[in-house]
Amino acid sequence: MDTKWLEWAKQIQKIAQTGLIYTQNEYDIERYEALRDLSVDILANYSLRIKRKLHLPSRAILATPPQK
């Protein structure tokens, strides 16, 4: 089973969350929020879950790489 879409959605979400932490520009905030919403749409579509059941943090948190 090809799960490349899942990795892409996770990567989009990480980029959006990190961007929301570091940007102060309103235009960039809107774009990072749009990326975050896109990742939710991808996850909802491909995982056959209802969008509102997916949980996103209410505030931005830093996406960190996994510990080795």
Q: Quick count: other Cβ atoms within 10 Å of Cβ 7? A: 9
- pTM (2 decimals)? 0.66
Q: Measured in whole angstroms, how far is the alpha carbon of residue 16 from the centre of its chain?
A: 6
Average pLDDT of the segment spanning 37-41 = 91
pLDDT in tens, 2-26: 678 888 889 999 999 999 999 999 9
pLDDT at 50 > cutoff 50: no
Percentage with pLDDT > 90 across the chain: 43
- Lowest-pLDDT range of 2-11, 18-27, 34-43, 51-60: 51-60
Instruction: Quote the CA–CA distance of 58 and 61 in Å, as a whole number.
Output: 9
Tokens of 37: 């919403």
Cβ-count burial of 50 within 10 angstroms (0-12 exposed, 13-18 middle, 19+ buried)?
Answer: exposed
